[in-house]
Every structure is written in structure tokens, then in C-alpha cells.
Structure 1
Amino acid sequence: MAKMTMKEKMARNCMAYLLMIRKVGAIAIKQQFSTLERKETGHIKNFELKRFVYHIMKTLLLFLTTLPLLVCSLNVLFYISAIAQSHIPFHNTAINILLERGHTVDLVIARYNEMVNIYYPKGVRRNYTFGYEDSNYWSKNAMHLYNIFEMKPTPWAEFSGFDDAAFELCEIAVRDPNLLEFIKHGQYHIGLSSDYDPCANVIMHAAGVPARASMIPTPMFQQQVLNAGLPSPASLYGTCLYPKTDDSFIRKMFDLLRHTYNVNFVAPKMMARYNGLLKKTFGPTFPNVEEIERNVDLVLVNSNEIIEKQRPISHKIKYIGGMGKKKAKALGKEFDKLLDSALKGVVIFSFGTQVPTKKVPIEIRKNFVAAFKKFPDFLFLWKYDNATMDSELFRNAPNVHRVEWLPQTDLLGDHRVKAFISHMGLNSFLETSAAGVPVLSIPLFIDQHHNALNAASLEVGVIVDRDKLTEKNLISALDELLNNPKYQENAQIISKMMNQKPEQAEKVFYEWVEYAANNPGLHNILNLPGAELSPFWYYSVDVLLVIAVFVLLSIFVLAKILKIVSSWITIRSKSKSE
């Protein structure tokens, strides 16, 4: 293991020193205060003097515990891929947590999607943004994400268009000397990357950032699973983009073929492209992308163990879903009055920030309204872009209300809300799970199918296919969700498990980031051995080949022996007959 520099040793010991000072000082003051309390009341002047000394000691302790923060403060780099609007609040929550703990935070923003509104906390020290030369690149190449009821990505090569977009943006990044200089100048202890492509980790490695962590706003994608070396047989696991849906023979065969194709053809081809670019830019001795990606120190995942399908895991993977979760507040008078008007309860309906109502075909909107009218004892609150839009459609639906804004957290925390109709973005899934509200899932794209299947497997939700949003299907799903008590009961169980989990997300996040920053090279300890093996060695193909050869030779020798014995018996038989 490489010898630590003096700076790294100081950083490692800093947090331990701070904790020691706090503990020892707190004990000393507590003992002194207890002694003062036991003094006789007659010695007033002496007691007042000692109380004054006590306050001096308390102030000194505050100074001693604040001083190390100045020394212990980490320089942290966030390398954010600006792909979806919902990712920005996730990163900002993490940034605020580290800022509140006294650390310095800088940003590098790789602007994939020009339609994302980028904002960040005021405490950020420096930021650097870059993007495509074509300012409308994303809208020209990824419109299937905005016309989701009209266009579908291919189910064979997972999001291959994104791979090309990522590589093109990485070319821009590695050829930008100002970006590399920006990162070098920051003298960072640790860098956190979105890790939807390898470029961030590559550039941070080139700039000499000593510790790196993946921090993804979604569940783990296939690249994180592969880089971490997690066992992932196609017979049990799909991927985040194309999760396993059933165990039919045809489906299992298709899953196996797709898994084999992506792992052994698509991924190596992409890595070869990156390696060619990097060797050309940084020289022939620059490490391969596979090695850099494999050697991240942590993988911070925006999910929760309770709502994920269980799988073999690595100690470097930490779940931080629900970090910075807001507490539900009392509803305003307008919403409170609406909820009180419902006889049996309220259902809220939102497709999130990326799917405006106008993108939902009018026929589907009609089907929703018709289905909602079949449940007159329930009030439906539908997040609508424009509350005056489609007035004729809602004319005879008194139990359906359009609202341009939903206080989602506050509503989910209200006992009168009985269900949530959602596209199943991860933030919504985490929120409704923590609140204990059953969900009618209508997954639209990316990880939402994965989330919806997880909810269904936990029996806290039902799924309606986005291509089968008929009135009949919606009525059937709502009837099951609202009238079968198991969904409400299971949702409450999951909520309790999430809220009482010993390791809460925020603490896991900052403790492990600080730990990794103060212990560079953590991956040397936490990497799984299988992560470095090719399929040939991982599955012991060499041993299987030897066994196969031995079996074939044995069969061959046995066949020869049987042939000789058979010939000998035939000859003996002929001799006896003569």
C-alpha cells in the first residue's frame, strides 16, 4: 500500500482529534458542573465564582471544537451530469449537508440536457460548466424522453443513444485544458461523480484527486453493478433500465441473450472507444477506463435497501435514498378543506416534472377522468399544468380537482390520503414508501419500471402499463388498490421499516464521504476479487474445459474398450460356432 503523505495523515487524524476533544471536554464540564451542584448553598460567592469558571470552560470547549473544523474541513468536488431536472435537488441536498459540516464544495457541471434548470446552494466556492457545441443537442437527440407516449427506446441495446452522447461530451471534457486545471487547482480530498458515464472519474484521476465516489441519483445501473463485481445472473436479475418481469422460458432466454450481448459486446466496445481517446490524450501509460471505474472508493446510491430487490452486495455500496427528507407540514386551508370533503379519502396524481399534462394524449386523459368518476366517494387531486385546461372534460366530474401545484410531501403525510398515482420516479417512490401510502404505478421510462416492479413485489402497489391506459384497466387497478386492505397494511409496514432503520441516509452519506476522504485508497480494501476477473476466469471456464476434455477422453477410451471387447466377443462366438 502506498505511503501516506503528511497532509493525508493530518486529514485522517483530524476527525478523531475533534471527537476526542468533544468527548473529553464534555465529560470534564459535566463532572465540574455536578461538583458545583453538590456544593452547600451557604457558600454563595464561592459557588458563583465557580459557575463563572464553568462558563469560561464551556466557551473554551466551544473554541477547541470549532478550531479543528477549520483544519479538518475537506475540499470536495461534485462532478454533476445535468441530465434530468429531478437530479438537481438530489445533488443540492448532498452539497448542503457537506457545507453545513464545514466542508468546502466546488462544482463541475457537464451539461447534457440544455432544458435542465441548473441551480445550486450559495455556499459553493467555485463552479465550472461545459456542454455540447450545439446548444440544442439534447432536444434533437433525446426527444423520446419527452414524447414518451409516442416513442420508445429499443429494448436490445440499453440506451445506446446515450452512450454516443456521453462519449461526445467526454471528448469535449478531456480536450478542455481549463477543466483539468480547474480540478487540479481545487486540491480536493475527494470527488463525487454522477457516474452515468466514466468521464468524471477519468478526469478526476487525471487531475490527481486521491479519493473518488460514485453518487448516482437513481438505483444502480448496469455499469455500477459490473464495476463493483456484483454477481448478477440473468436468471435472477434484470437491469435498472430493463428489469426482470417474469420467469417464462421465452423471457428468461431473451434476458440471458440481452445480458450477454450488453456485457460482452456493448460494454467492451464502449470502453475501447474511451480507452482510445484517453491514451491519445493522456499518453499510453494512462490506466484503462475499466480499472479507473472499478477503483472508485464508494458507490452512493439514491435508493433504500428496504425497497430494493435484494442481491449480493459490496461493502463499498451505500444506500442514501431519502437523504434530506422533509417532514410533512400541516396543509393550508384550501387543501385541508378539499381533503375534508372526501367521504372515504383522497388520491393524488402526478407524473412529475418531466411529463407535462399536454404530453399525455387527450384520449388517455379522458380515460383517467372516466375511471375516477367511478369512485365518487374518493377525491382525486390531479397535478395539471393549467387548472383551466380541458374544462369541458372535467365538467361532470365533481370528485376530480385539477391543481397546478401539489404539496406532495405534506399530502402524503396526511392520513386522509389513501393512494398515490405516480410515474414512479425514484424520489416519488422513496417519498410514498416512507409515508406509507400505496401507489398505482404507471412507469414511463428509465428506472421507473424497476421502481414499479419493486413496489409490486412488496405488495404496496399495482402497475398499469403506459400503453394500456384504458378506462377498464384503470378502474380495475384503482378498485384493487383502494379496496384491498393488504396494500395499506403493507405500505405501513414498509414505512415503519424505513423510518426506524438504524442507519439513516444523511448520516451514512456524510460519515462515509468523510471516511473515504480521510482514507485514500479505500477501494484497495473494499473491492470484490471478482470485479477484476473476465468471464473466462470468473466462471472457471479453464477448469470446465479441462473437465470437458477429460470427460470426452474418458468417453472416447471407454468407447474404444467397448469396441475391442465387442470384437473379441464376436470372434469368440464365431470360433465356438465353427
Structure 2
Amino acid sequence: MWSKVILFVFFVNYGNSANILGLYFHAGKSHHILGEMLLKELARRGHNVTMASPFPLKEPFPNYTDIHLTGILEDQIARESMFMKMNKGHALVGVNDVLELTRAQTELTLNHTEMAKLLKSGTKFDVIIIDWFMNGAILMYGKLFNAPIIPIASHGTTHLANYIVGNPAPPSYIPNAMLPFPPNMTFFQRMVNGLVTIAYNVVGHTNAKYHQALLEKYFENAPSLDELKDTVALVLSNGHYSFESPRPFVPNVIPVGGFHVQKARKLPTDLQKYMDEAKHGVVYFSLGSNMKSVLLPKEKQQQILKAFAKIPHKVLWKWEDDNLENKPDNVLIRKWFPQNDILGHPNLKLFITHGGLLSTIEALHHGVPVLGIPIFGDQKANIPNAVSSGYAVQLELADLDEATLTKALDEILTNPKYQENAKKRSQLLHDQPMSPMDTAVFWVEHVIRHKGAPHLRNLGSYLPWYQYLMLDVALFVVLFLLVVVGIVGFVIRKICGCCCQRKSKEKRE
């Protein structure tokens, strides 16, 4: 009996299995984690998955084939000093560095021998899942493989995700992802938000021209980027109202924030013992995969250690070296920690983080309060948003020293409101009709079943920006009113002129 059921399930899955290509050329590990988690789940559910990326799996996985895009990770490592530079200044600082990085990685992908081999192999794909990060030319693979594309917006529901599908994002109440503004912005903040949004649109237009040139460099009769928008079926946004301010969504923007977070597993034996035996609890400190702690100025490293030495808690510090000078006894360093499993341990009291979106979501998933030290990019908006939600304290890197860190640690470790608010937000993230992963898988399979799901697209994504904003209509109305006013004025002047002439003639007579 059971053998028949198993055979039935096998053949149903086999019959419905699809060929799925994951294209994650960007060497940001946090971006890759999202793609890998979703593709592995699709492979578990019987689909045949091919993943092209700089991060091949260390161990084989059923139904999952790796294509190693060599040279891309090495290029990013050579540029890693840019991340510290981006900490200084306003929202546009570092944009050129990021653009150069993504342009170089896009070109390396378009020109990669492994991608050429894949194209020549004649392999057919039912859908392509890509990392969406200022890389418009990558949409060409939808055309080359004749397959719909699903971009995953690792940064959440920002302008990068919105414009590709025409999703509205009024700057009056939706802050730009690079700005530390609350949704209820002041007049000055709304003005700055509007100007920065315009500036990013200008940068986006310039970047689009660069990617168009890339297409024309590598492909004959290359289509325009506007034409390639037709390959985009929907966007999976790494967003959710539990950590993003509420905002509108068109049908083909699907919020799946938190789909990468798994149930915490038991830690390796030594770490499990370390955390279990922490009488006062544990503080976990990590600056993520791009920004490394070893890149901090040595003086700041020592100031941080002095502050840690003052607290009774044990500290886990993700430190990318074997040694750390003057390390106190309550600090344990390692080049890598199983972050999700640490955040899920009941003895963890605080997460000190750069505020990357994945780390912020993981902390929220497990109900852990945050001490945020934003370095660059959306981190400078994620942490203020967490502060306004009541589960975080913010500390600027420029202000980080023994005194400020000690004060921040004392505030968040002794005031129960941060823990309480983290738990409340965690409940919001968990209180959904379907898990984020089930939602993501459903919509991928929906696109496959409905051959690209053209019924989800809205016409706003095809309109030029001036039509989308109704500027052409506004200009017509203004010109029409000016013409009407001009004609009325002309008629009045003529009438007045005739009356004056008549009166003058009557006087003379």
C-alpha cells in the first residue's frame, strides 16, 4: 500500500518537475544565500535546478547542479576597501563604487566561458531566478533561453525592485532605502527624499545606458532594456511590513521577507556548551560578509574590547583572523559562526550588527534585540527603522568608542522594552497565512504553470517616466490654460481698446 503511495507521489512530482536556472553572479554572499535557499527548496520539491554563481556548494545536493563562475569573487575581494569608504558621507557616497562593481561583475558573467557553454548546450529552462542588483543586462538571458525571469530583490521593496515592474512608491511617505527617514517625514525630509529619489532615477538612467552598451558589445542586434522588461514575470521582494513601513504592491511584487530563515538547530558541541553555560547570557557581534571586523581601525578594535570586558556576558565576535590583541577572557573569536543557530539560542541577549537586511530579518525572526552600527547602503535605513520600531539602539561607527559602546550595551541589556518589542515584531513576521518560503515557491511554480504569468503585469512598467508621472498631461493642461488665459486676455484687451477708442472719438466730437 505505502509503496504505491510513494510511487504515485514520485511520478506526480516527476511529471510536474521543471528546469530552473539560478543566476547569481554578484559576489555578495548575503545575496547568494537568498538564491541558494530558494533553489535548494525547489530542488527538494522535485525540480531540476542549475545554479550559476561564484559560490558552488561544498557538498552535492540532490537535483542541484552548480556552474562555478570563477573570477567574480576575486574581483570583489580586490575592491573590499570600498565598504569602509562608503561609511562616510551622504546617501550618494559610494554609489559610483557600487556601480563599477556591479558593472564589472555583469560583464564578467556575459563574457564567461561557463555561461557560453550553457547556452551552447541547448538546455531549456522553464524559469530563471536572478539576483536583482543594478544589473539590467542580465535580463538578456531571459531572451537567450526563452524563459521568464524572476528577480529576487535582496534589498527589499526599494526603488530597484519597483521600477522594473512599475510598482508605485510615493516619496511623500516611502523613504528612499538609502535615507534614515521615518515614514512620517517632516517637510524637510520629504523634500530631501524627493530630491534623492530623482537623483537615483538619474543614476539609474545612466546605468541603463551602460548596460545597453554592454548588450550591444556582446550580442548582435541586441534588444533594448525596455524590451527585456517583458521577460520579467514578477519580483520576489525580501520585504515585509514587520520590518518595512507599509507600502503598496502591484500583483507581480510578492513580499517574501524571511524566507531564508530556518528553525535554529543545535550548535556544534563546543559552542552549545559555551552558550548553555553563560550565566548572564551571550552577546553576538558580526559585521556581515562584506564588511569585515578586521577592516576596522585598530584603535576602534581596542575600544570595543575594553567595553566588552566591562560586561558580565560572554561575547561571540566574528573576527576574520586567528588572533586579536588584548582580547579579554569573556570574548570568543572565530572567522565564522552559524549565525541563525546562535540567534535562535535562548541564552542570546543581544545581536550587535551592521544592519544588513538579512541579519536584521534573522534577529527579528528569533525575537532578538539589536545594537546597530550601520556601515553603508540600506543599513543606514534599516537600523533607524528598527530603532523607531523599538527593538534597536543605533551607534554610528564614527562615534564608536569605549564610552559610547558601554552606554549602548548598558541601555539595551538592562531595559526590557527592547526584548519585548523584538518579540512583538517577531510575532508579526510569523503571523502569516503561508510561510515566506511556501509563498516564494508557490509564485515560482505559478509563473512556470502560466508560462511567464503575463496576466500579473501592469501597464505602468511600460510607460516612460514622464507618462507614468502624468507630466505630459500636466504640461498639456498648463499650456492649454495658458493659451486660454492668453486668448481671454487678448479679447479683453481688444474690447477695452475698442471701448477706449469709442470714448475718445465721442469726446472729440
Shorter-chain TM range is: 0.7 to 0.9
- 2:164 aligns to what? 227
How many positions carry a matched residue from both structures? 503
Alignment map for 1:42-191 (pairs within 5 Å): 55=1, 58-109=2-53, 111=54, 119=58, 121-124=60-63, 126-130=65-69, 137-141=75-79, 143-145=81-83, 154-155=92-93, 157=95, 159-169=98-108, 171-173=110-112, 177-182=116-121, 185-191=122-128
CA contact under 8 A between 1:195 and 1:201: conserved in structure 2? no
Aligned residue type for 2:411: E
Pairwise CA distance, 1:212: 2.0
Aligned residue type for 2:304: F
Q: What runs of 5+ residues in structure 1 fail to find an aligned partner?
A: 1-54
Pairwise CA distance, 1:221: 4.9
Question: Equivalents in 1 of 2:90, 2:114: separation in Å?
Answer: 34
Q: Does 1:518 align with 2:449?
A: yes
- 2:318 aligns to what? 383
CA contact under 8 A between 2:67 and 2:114: conserved in structure 1? no
- 2:467 aligns to what? 537
CA contact under 8 A between 2:156 and 2:257: conserved in structure 1? no
- 2:199 aligns to what? 261
Pairwise CA distance, 1:440: 0.8
Q: Residue 192 of structure 1 is aligned with which of 105, 129, 145?
A: 129
- 1:301 aligns to what? 237
- 2:144 aligns to what? 206
Q: Does 1:413 align with 2:357?
A: no
- Match of 1:451, SS state, is helix
Aligned residue type for 2:452: G
Structure 1 residues 436-468: Cα deviation after superposition (integer angstroms, max 9, x where no partner): 111011112233223223312322112112222
Pairwise CA distance, 1:435: 1.0
Aligned residue type for 1:260: I
Flag the 1:381–1:71 CA change in 2: closer, same or farther, 3 A. closer
Flag the 1:137–1:99 CA change in 2: closer, same or farther, 3 A. closer
Structure 1 residues 402-439: Cα deviation after superposition (integer angstroms, max 9, x where no partner): 33254533443334332211112222212110111110
Q: Residue 289 of structure 1 is aligned with which of 208, 225, 242?
A: 225
Structure 1 residues 258-306: Cα deviation after superposition (integer angstroms, max 9, x where no partner): 322332x33233333433443565444x532123235411212334342
CA contact under 8 A between 2:369 and 2:418: conserved in structure 1? yes
Question: Equivalents in 2 of 1:309, 1:121: separation in Å?
Answer: 39
Alignment map for 1:315-326 (pairs within 5 Å): 315-323=251-259, 325-326=261-262
Flag the 1:560–1:520 CA change in 2: closer, same or farther, 3 A. same
CA contact under 8 A between 1:423 and 1:448: conserved in structure 2? yes
- 1:22 aligns to what? none
CA contact under 8 A between 1:88 and 1:118: conserved in structure 2? no
CA contact under 8 A between 1:95 and 1:121: conserved in structure 2? no
- 1:469 aligns to what? 400
- Match of 1:424, SS state, is coil
Give the alignment's Cα RMSD to 1 decimal: 3.7
Aligned residue type for 1:261: A
- Match of 1:349, SS state, is strand
Question: Equivalents in 1 of 2:129, 2:36: separation in Å?
Answer: 13
Question: Equivalents in 1 of 2:306, 2:21: separation in Å?
Answer: 50
Q: Residue 457 of structure 1 is aligned with which of 376, 383, 388?
A: 388
Question: Equivalents in 1 of 2:69, 2:365: separation in Å?
Answer: 37
Alignment map for 1:423-572 (pairs within 5 Å): 423-522=354-453, 524-557=454-487, 559-560=489-490
Flag the 1:424–1:529 CA change in 2: closer, same or farther, 3 A. same
TM-score, normalised to structure 1, is 0.75
Question: Equivalents in 1 of 2:381, 2:88: separation in Å?
Answer: 21
Flag the 1:438–1:294 CA change in 2: closer, same or farther, 3 A. farther
Percent identity between the aligned chains?
24
Question: Equivalents in 2 of 1:277, 1:388: separation in Å?
Answer: 44
Flag the 1:167–1:350 CA change in 2: closer, same or farther, 3 A. closer
Tell which structure's C-alpha radius of gyration is larger.
1
Aligned residue type for 2:22: F
TM-score, normalised to structure 2, is 0.85
